[in-house]
Chain A
Amino acid sequence: MATNSINADAVIREIQESGGVVVRGFRSRDELVDTMQAAINDGRKCAFVPTLKTLREFLNTNGFISVMSQVNARLENHEVVVEANSYESKHVFAVGPAKRAG
């Protein structure tokens, strides 16, 4: 598990500046998985940073971590950039394309 000491804002800014995708909400879990997978397939990073209104669907931080682990299990050819957790006041889960060996 990642520590809670990362600077969430800096990570999000870096992902945005590198052409990555930042998702703030979703209508269904399938849609979230599809969006993240599309970014990965496109060679881009994707961060899910839910708004407070979206966050309430997860009940609490453990719920967010639990659901994101299920989302993570459905993604392919990826690596986790930021483990799902609460970082300062933001909840973040970020993934990117898997690094190829060699």
Chain B
Amino acid sequence: MPTQIVQVPKYDFSLGLFVDEGPYWHGWSKWLGATGVTTLLPGDELAVAANALKAPRVGRIFTGISKASSEVVEAVMGQAKRLVPKALGKVRLPRSTARPTPVAEAIGGAPRSGLGRHTSLPMDLRGAGLVHGSSRFSRLEGFLSQRYGARVVFDDAVPFGKIDELAGATRLNPHTATFDVVAHELSHVRFSQAMGKWGTGKALTNFEVNLMESIGYWGTYRKGLASGLSHADALANASFGPSFAQSAIQALRSGSPAVPASLQRAIALYGRDYVEQALRFGGFGIRPGKSIPRM
């Protein structure tokens, strides 16, 4: 998921500094820094992307990296090239002939070759936060409502994003939530629904919360890597994941009778391998060599 292009932090032109150091800013900053861009034009965040596109070193900085990573970078650059003029209202985007997946259809994009669903996620260069009333976000809301019966509520009191499984609502802070945050919360919506708790008034158990966050952060970590982040940066984005995995495995070993049933429901949705990978969290969750109880 080439999301870093979305997470353009606020840039103070008078100070010459990024002033909005949100949880995901460093990936973007690193990428921008690597382009050699040092001077930004006054204006909104589009100037950042536009400048990045003009940078003479853009074509060369990613040489020497893996083919998969370079494809991701090219796709990100391609997205920026398309979206900057689109946002400025100068060009009409060509439609892809590929058959969109239900999710891609809901959010108005079709998967492009080489990157599958990652490139179908909505991207918006107009700010660090979500764009209220944008047609893409409206389609996403419609899809969530239809598929999961989930409402999106914008709430300044939530630091970034949060699910309310009791009420069947996803709360997003309109100033800080990016599409990365949305993706993380959507993973929780799917999980809660698989547990039979979404919108039913029943709260997730502690084990379910820990497993849900392990899986959610494992997804955030994987998507960070797929978007071209280094291992360290991707892990920083998902820094709480290993702790949740460790807490989940403690509950798993506790022998509580409710735990195996929840685990089985998660495995039915994500598959045993994926759940196990999330709990191991690349060696940062359950220690390498330690076994996961077979249920």
Task: Mark A residues whose CB is within 8 Å of B.
Answer: 28-29, 52-53, 55-63, 65-67, 86, 89
Contacts and interface: CB of A to CB of B under 8 A. Distances in A.
Nearest to A29: B157
B243 A62 contact: no
Most B Cβ at <10 Å: residue of A52, A61, A65, A86: A52
Contact of B240 (A60, A65, A67): A60
A102 B237 CA distance: 44
Given A55-B240, A55-B243, A67-B159, 11 more contacts: A52-B210, A57-B162, A58-B160, A59-B161, A60-B23, A60-B236, A60-B237, A61-B23, A61-B240, A63-B22, A66-B21
B165 interface: no
A20 B282 CA distance: 39
B252 interface: no
A2 B160 CA distance: 24
Contacts of A66: 21-23, 176
B286 to A, nearest CB: 16
B247 A62 contact: no
Interface of B: 21-26, 157-162, 176, 181, 184, 206, 209-210, 213, 236-240, 243-244, 247
B186 to A, nearest CB: 14
A71 to B, nearest CB: 10
* Main secondary structure on A side of the interface with B: helix
Nearest to B212: A56
Given A52-B244, A89-B243, A62 B159 contact: no
B22 A52 contact: no
6 contacts: A28-B157, A52-B210, A55-B243, A61-B236, A63-B23, A66-B176
B160 to A, nearest CB: 5
A29 B159 contact: yes
Contacts of B236: 60-62
B70 to A, nearest CB: 27
Nearest to B235: A60
Nearest to A57: B159
Given A62-B24, A62-B26, A63-B22, A86 B239 contact: yes
B160 A59 contact: yes
Nearest to A53: B209
